[in-house]
Amino acid sequence: FFLFQNGESGVSSLECALCLVVLPSDEFFEISSCGHRACRACLQQYLRVQITESRVCITCPECSESMHPNEIRSIINDEALFCKYEDFMVRRVLAVEPDTRWCPAPDCGFAVIASECASCPKIKCERPGCNAYFCYHCKAEWHPNQTCDAARAQRSPNVRSSSITYSQDSQYKDDIKPCPRCQVLIVKIDDGSCNHMMCAVCGAEFCWLCMKEISDLHYLSPSGCTFWGKKP
């Protein structure tokens, strides 16, 4: 950055490395991990974009050094936006716990650490006002007297129907699906891009067609999923 000194007023000014505007030095914020400075307005805009795009590991806009959550909170000065960022961070931590299950009830998404529940798979969401029951194995709503496969087959026509309705009503015909690991909603624009997806929150790699976590060999397997396009 460039430092300018006003001889008459004694007030120093800096040139922002992001917007290249010369501003009083008290309008700048210094990132503790690297010492880079930028004006608060630019940093606020940068952080809003990063959080809106579900980025959890936010770095300095000029280098790869991480920004501390307390700095992020101070800069954005928006509790609702910071709560969203905190939610993404918590989901990233919980996503690596193999017994984490996410409540499938609409507008919930509460996490349950369901240790030793494989033999008794009925899970109850403990979020106040929810109390929904769901299955440890298939992670969908509880299906008494049915196997996971039978319940999945019974749900399939409803899922296809709701997908068709959404596609017809959507102005941009985008697809929105939850990440198979952390359940964060992900938008894939119908622009011809490949079906190999990576969640920005938890880092899960999955196939957009079957919505399962995958390896590099997935598209060579008999699954019927293709790297490009849709299932035949």
Task: Please indicate whether residue 194 is annotated as part of the active site.
Answer: yes
Catalytic residue among 42, 103, 194, 199: 194
**CB 204, CB 212: distance < 8 Å:** no
Token pair listed for 1: 């950055």
From the centroid of its chain, how far is CA 83?
13
Strand order across the 12-15 sheet: 3-5, 12-15, 22-24
Token pair listed for 189: 């624009």
Nearest to 180 by CA among 207, 146, 161: 207
Alpha helices in 4-137 (DSSP H): 40-52, 69-76, 79-95
Q: How far apart, in Å, do the first and last CA atoms of the chain sit?
A: 55
d(CA 156, CA 144): 17
The DSSP result for 79-109, as a single string, is: HHHHHHHHHHHHHHHHHTSTTEEE--STT--
Please give the positions annotated as active site: 194
